[in-house]
Structures are given as C-alpha cells and as structure tokens.
Amino acid sequence: MMFGTPSFWYQQKTTQDKLLKLALLPASWIYAALVRKKFDLYFQVPMQKPIICVGNVVAGGAGKTPVVLSLIDLLQEKGFNPHILTRGYGGKETGPLQVSPGRDTAYDVGDEALLLVEKAPTWVSAKRTIGAQAAMESGADIVVLDDGYQNAVIYKDFSLLVVDGAVGFGNKSVMPAGPLREPLRFGLGRADAFVIIGEDKTTAADYIRRHSSAPILFAALEPDDSNPDVKGKSIFAFAGIGRPMKFKETLDAAGAMVDGWASFPDHYAYEEEDLREILTAAEARGIMLLTTAKDYVRIPASLKPRIHKFSVHLVWQNREEIIPLIEQALKKRSR
C-alpha cells in the first residue's frame, strides 16, 4: 500500500513532475491569495494570557507534536502551568473540550490530542480563541497552540516555525502545486524563531536567513528508551503520518531491518480490515509489527496487543536558548 503526498511536491525528477506543477500553479495562486487575504481581514488582539504557537508552512508532518511536548517540559521547568490547544484534526469534536484519555478516542479528538494530553491539560477547539479562553479559565497561565500558524484570528505572542530538515520547503510552491500552506516569504516573515529538525539536507537554514532575521534552532528526533529492541531484527512497519518514509528512516537509523512496509494517508482512521493483511504477513513470518505512537492511538483496541509502538522524542542542540526567546517575547505584553 502506498499513499502520501505527491512526489512532485518534493522532487522534480521527471518531465511529468514539472508539467503537473505547472498545470496546478493557477490554483496555487488563488489559494495563496486567499490565505493572504485572511490576514488582512482580522485585527488580532492579545488575549488575557500568552499564546505560544508551534506551526509549520508545509502540509503534512514537520515534527510539530514532538516540539510541543518538549516545549511543555521546558515551560513546566520554569514554573509555568501550560495548557495545550489543538484543532483535533481527524476527530469529530469541535469543542471547546478538555481532552480526557479515559473517555475520548482518536475518533473523537484526533490522534495528536491523545498524545499531547499525556504531558499537560489539552483542549480541542475548532475556534482557537474560544478554546484558548476555556484553557485560561481552567487555570492555564500560558497556552501552547499546536498548529494554527495560518489561523488569522488568534493573536500569537510567540510563533515557533518547525521545519523538517530532510525535505525543507519542497518545491516552494503553494498547494496544490507544492506542499506550502501559504506563500513562503509571507510565512517566514511572521515567525519569531525557527527549529530545523534533523539534518538540513535542503539548506533550509540558508534560505531562512536570506528572508528572516529570526533565530534558528536545531533539534533531532531520537527513539525513546521504552521502545522495543529492534537493532538487527527483522520487522514489518507501517505508518499513516505526513511523511511516512520518515518513520522508516528512523527505524533504519535504529538498526532495524525493515522487511515489510505499508503506508497510509496522514491521520488515517484504521479499521480491522485495513490491518488484517499486514498482521497476517508479519505473524506468518514471525516478525514484529511496528508503528508510530501517533498511529498506535488510532488502532482498534482489539488489535493493539498484536502491534508494537515505536516512539521518538525531541533533543535540542541549543536547549538553553528557547525559553529566553519566549520570555523576551512575553516582556512585550507589559510594555
């Protein structure tokens, strides 16, 4: 099974790739204009408590969730009581709703919310300002917004833009001709800081420096100590995330021998029949079946005992720099 983002978003290997991009450019121009127009229509007003946004400018996963989880740790160490606010993509709830792990499932609040709530109180709300207000009334002294960088309504005191170093900004075109959610320079210009995750294979840092004076941080995703031992072992793996091959690359780096592989669309809502074939294939060969933490929360409960979870966490190269940047931004509120 092979699903995912169009290959020409990140690679222009063939004439067909180039022609597809050219054919979709008019639609991209319209999309880009609509995004820009949104920011002209709203006058953003600071809320009662600070809003920290962790976002990106590309469609699909850039690594926002691990950044949010790490940021919560840093804020808690400094004495803040952060709550997390997310759209709850993939879930049916529109909120504002405080996520309860014992009550809510990925079909209710989305997969990301169930991962985030393990770290701090988490809210799902389609309307971000209302969700943020609910979090503040519940005791949050700072709200970390997971995604929402393109939301023109809510004021952000500090915006941290996440970049996947392996793919950067792709072909630098706006959807559907490319992976961008908005015009690139417009997006880069609103960020207060950047974090590039993994090796900067596309020299995204150089491009950022040409168009923004905001600081650039660097980080990497590393496997959790609690993961099953995969070094030197044959495994069957699957993922339904923004860039599924990122998971395969993680397993390769951990020393696993990936002898079976399946990919699904981002936030895919797994049913038993979706996984029956790969479960049978893995068990017939006597090898471990493995998936990401984000996929694991979307697996039917009846199948979870037969599937292993492989989690990662963020490791900063310059951990000591991020909180001072946020504190500097928060000082502006008192001026």
| CA–CA gap between residue 13 and residue 6 (Å, rounded) | 12
Q: Is the pLDDT of residue 4 over 60?
A: no
Q: What is the per-residue pLDDT for 15? A: 82
Confidence of residue 11 (pLDDT cuts 50, 70, 90): confident
| CA–CA gap between residue 104 and residue 319 (Å, rounded) | 33
Cβ contacts of 55 within 8 Å, gap of 6 or more: 64, 145, 147, 148, 149, 150, 159, 160, 161, 162
Using DSSP's 3-state secondary structure scheme, residue 87 falls into coil
CATH topology of domain 227-310: Rossmann fold (3.40.50)
Domain ranges of the chain: 51-80+141-221+315-334, 227-310
Residue 247: C-alpha distances to residues 20, 55, 200 (Å)? 27, 20, 17
| Chain segment 307-325, per-residue pLDDT in tens | 999 999 999 998 999 999 9
Q: What is the per-residue pLDDT for 335? A: 58
Confidence of residue 3 (pLDDT cuts 50, 70, 90): very low
Same CATH topology for 51-80+141-221+315-334 and 227-310: the answer is yes
Beta-bridge partner residues of 309: 291
Q: Is the pLDDT of residue 332 over 80?
A: yes
Confidence of residue 60 (pLDDT cuts 50, 70, 90): confident
| Chain segment 239-279, per-residue pLDDT in tens | 998 888 889 999 999 999 999 999 998 888 899 998 988 99
Q: What is the mean pLDDT of residues 123-139?
A: 97
Q: What is the dihedral of CA 145, 149, 153, 158, to 10 degrees?
A: 60
Mean pLDDT of the chain: 92
Considering only the top CATH level, what class is 51-80+141-221+315-334? alpha beta
H/E segment holding residue 204: helix 204-211
| CA–CA gap between residue 184 and residue 32 (Å, rounded) | 10
Q: What is the per-residue pLDDT for 143? A: 98
44 vs 97: which has the higher pLDDT: 97
Q: What is the per-residue pLDDT for 306? A: 93
Longest CA–CA separation in the chain, Å: 66
